[in-house]
Amino acid sequence: MAREKFQTLTEPMFYVLLSLREECCGTDIMARVSALTRGRVSLGPGTLYNLLDSFQQSEMIRETGVSGRKRSYRITDKGRETLEAEYRRLLALTEDYKACVGEERPLP
Amino acid sequence: MKETKYGLCSLGLYDYRGVEEHLSAMAAQGWRLEKAGNTLWKYRRAEPARLRYAVTYSDSASRFNPGPTEGQRSLEELCAAAGWEKAADWDQAQIYSTADPAAVPLETDEALRLEGIHRSMKKNFLPANAVLLVLVLFVARDFFLALFTGDLYGMVESNARLFAAAMSVSTVCFEAYILAGYFLWRRRSQRSVEDGGACVPVGRGYRRASLAMWILLALLTAAYLLAELAGGGGGAALYFVSYTALFLLLGFLVRQTTALMRKRKASKTANIAVTLAVDVVLAFALVGGLTYTALHYSWFTGGFGSQESYEYRGREWDVNPRQDLPLTLAELTGERYDHVCRRAYNSGSFFVAERSYSESALLQDGPKFCGLDYTVYEPRFSAIQESLLEDFLEDDPVDLPGIGTIFTSRYLPEDPAPWGAEAVYRHYYGETPSGGWLLVWPGRVVEFNPHGPLTEVQRAAAAARLGPEA
């Protein structure tokens, strides 16, 4: 069954929202996500464009300025709540993992 | 050496992989996409290169926009930062290219890609195909009506109807295949993405079906034209060719209007309104002009390429009346007419030949015109003849608005012996004979309308000329 939109976040969604805790434009977001994840997560421009559009429609981010072709965005309270909910979910997953497997034992 | 060339596009709008692979292959051969139209893509010559192409979708894109939308500009900015250059718009599909093999792909989230594609499909591909489906059903409405009422003759009575039906059935099958193909692809891609995979490849079915459809269209058109020409329907063939040419001209002019409005930076709403207005006005003007020409020069009634005429007592008469009528007024009455106008034309189809004749004549300077018209039907199969007779013999109430049925038009059986026919029916308006006859032989039906009463001798003479042994 299809997952309800933004109930849980994919990695690109999570990092875009995380980057927008500070105001920045699309190209900055791509650079920040890459730096933040040390190149593990690459954000394609098409994906970012669609994400920014969806987040804006869902009022999770807002546009803060336009300079030429560059548009800047920032996370809203709703977006922040979604990001924190995802963080708590990930923490819960981590705690569950630790409870089952233990701190030290690596995954087989 | 040619600097530009055109190619037929047989890819689905959602087949981003197909587009990417096709354009990369073209770039390797030294051709770059310059413009992506609905049917034809334009390429320009360039140095052969190893280019990567990628497609992303922007549902705000439209050919009626005065230029790229803010969304498209933002996308271009993001793509440029990632090393991608805009190649062309193809409706909502935004096509980019890069020479950098390490450039980040345009799409890095398959769920978002699938969602973006579906948003774009809902805006263009799905409604356009649904409208086309309704249109083709409308074009062949007479055939389908005959099919649903079991009227075999109604289904096969003309080449035009058979052609419309064949086109319609093929297009309906094609459209159903295309629409089902998209939904199936989306369903399979959804499953794949939910399992952490990518959207599934579209496969070659779409391209094959598109190409097959073009080939079928060409074959059906050729078959229709040949059938019309072989049956003596030169006027109908000329009308069809002219109509097709005007239809292509209309499409060209409408696209030019959209492009001109775009160039003048008209708003999307203004562009759509003007394009639609130009489309409707031109369609009426072109088709109206063609129909007027066809009727004025009697393309459908034997006038096409026909006789020289002169005017006498307010009517047109033939200088050299045609001699190929099976039965003339002179043969029927034994009179010699000084002024004659004869027409003959073919309609019908491969399954039932239908040839109509008419003659008007003036007896010296006599006070009244004489006339005769008849249509000879030759069904290839007895089932078609039975269906044709059913159509003729069905009572046909003649209604006047506000009054109701004033009388019933019908055929009633008569003694066939004087005609030497298998069966004969006389036409009546209510209880009054109209002068029309229906003569039936195996494999031949004649609808015979002499404009006056006939003697026994004249009936026998008419039957001898119009029967199968004539």
Is B198 an interface residue toward A (CB < 8 Å)?
Answer: no
**Which residue reads 């459908």 in tokens?**
B300
Q: Shortest Cα distance from A24 to chain B (angstroms)?
A: 13
Is B242 an interface residue toward A (CB < 8 Å)?
Answer: no
Quote the pLDDT of residue A2: 44
Helix%, strand%, coil% for chain A, nearest 5 = 55, 15, 30
Hey, are the CB atoms on B104 and A70 less than 8 Å from each other? no
Q: What is the mean pLDDT of chain B?
A: 88
Task: Round to whole Å and give the CA distance between B41 and B37.
Answer: 5
Quote the pLDDT of residue B38: 80
Smallest Cβ distance to A45: which of B57, B79, B111?
B79
- For residue B106, the chain A residues in CB contact (below 8 A) are 44-47
In this structure, the number of other CB atoms found within 10 A of the CB of residue B121 comes to: 23
- For residue B58, the chain A residues in CB contact (below 8 A) are 49
Residue count (chain B): 470
Residues B27, B48 contacting (CB under 8 angstroms)? yes
Q: Is the pLDDT of residue B16 over 50?
A: yes
Is B190 an interface residue toward A (CB < 8 Å)?
Answer: yes
Is B92 an interface residue toward A (CB < 8 Å)?
Answer: no
* CA dist B111 → A11, A12, B71, B192 (Å): 12, 11, 20, 10
Is B117 an interface residue toward A (CB < 8 Å)?
Answer: no
Is B334 an interface residue toward A (CB < 8 Å)?
Answer: no
Task: Say whether B359 sits in a helix, a strand or coil.
Answer: strand
- Extract long-range pairs of B330-338: CB within 8 Å, 24+ residues apart: B330/B361, B331/B461, B331/B465, B332/B372, B332/B450, B332/B454, B332/B458, B332/B461, B332/B462, B333/B370, B333/B458, B335/B363, B335/B370, B337/B361, B337/B362, B337/B363, B337/B370, B338/B362, B338/B363, B338/B364, B338/B365
Q: Is the pLDDT of residue A1 over 50?
A: no
pLDDT tens figures, B169-191: 888 888 888 888 999 999 999 99
Enclosing H/E stretch for A96: helix A77-101
Of all residues in chain B, what percent carry a pLDDT higher than 70? 97
Hey, are the CB atoms on B82 and A10 less than 8 Å from each other? no
Using a CB–CB cut-off of 8 Å, the residues of A that contact B are 2, 10, 12, 26-27, 30, 42-54, 69-71
pLDDT tens figures, A7-57: 788 889 999 999 999 999 989 999 999 999 998 988 999 999 989 988 999
Hey, are the CB atoms on A46 and B190 less than 8 Å from each other? no
| Interface probe with A: pick from B20, B69, B94, B112, most Cβ of A within 10 Å | B112
Residue in B closest to A41 by C-alpha: B108
Is B118 an interface residue toward A (CB < 8 Å)?
Answer: no
Q: What amino acid is encoded at B42 in this protein?
A: K
pLDDT tens figures, B132-149: 888 888 877 888 888 888
Tell which B residues from 67 to 86 touch A, by Cβ distance under 8 Å. 70-71, 73-79, 81-82, 84
Smallest Cβ distance to A47: which of B73, B94, B108?
B108
- For residue B100, the chain A residues in CB contact (below 8 A) are none
Hey, are the CB atoms on A44 and B74 less than 8 Å from each other? no
Residue with the bigger pLDDT between A65 and B470: it is A65
Q: Shortest Cα distance from A45 to chain B (angstroms)?
A: 5
Task: Round to whole Å and give the CA distance between B68 and B359.
Answer: 65
pLDDT tens figures, B296-310: 887 776 554 556 888
- For residue A49, the chain B residues in CB contact (below 8 A) are 56, 58, 71, 74-75, 78
- For residue A14, the chain B residues in CB contact (below 8 A) are none
Quote the pLDDT of residue B128: 85
pTM across the whole model? 0.73
Residue in B closest to A1 by C-alpha: B194
Smallest Cβ distance to A47: which of B77, B81, B112?
B112
Nearest to B191 by CA among B107, B106, B114, B105: B114
Hey, are the CB atoms on A71 and B75 less than 8 Å from each other? no
Task: Round to whole Å and give the CA distance between B108 and B121.
Answer: 20
| Interface probe with B: pick from A5, A6, A43, A47, most Cβ of B within 10 Å | A47
Smallest Cβ distance to B81: which of A27, A46, A71?
A27
pLDDT tens figures, B266-288: 998 999 999 999 999 999 999 99
How high is the ipTM of this complex? Answer: 0.83
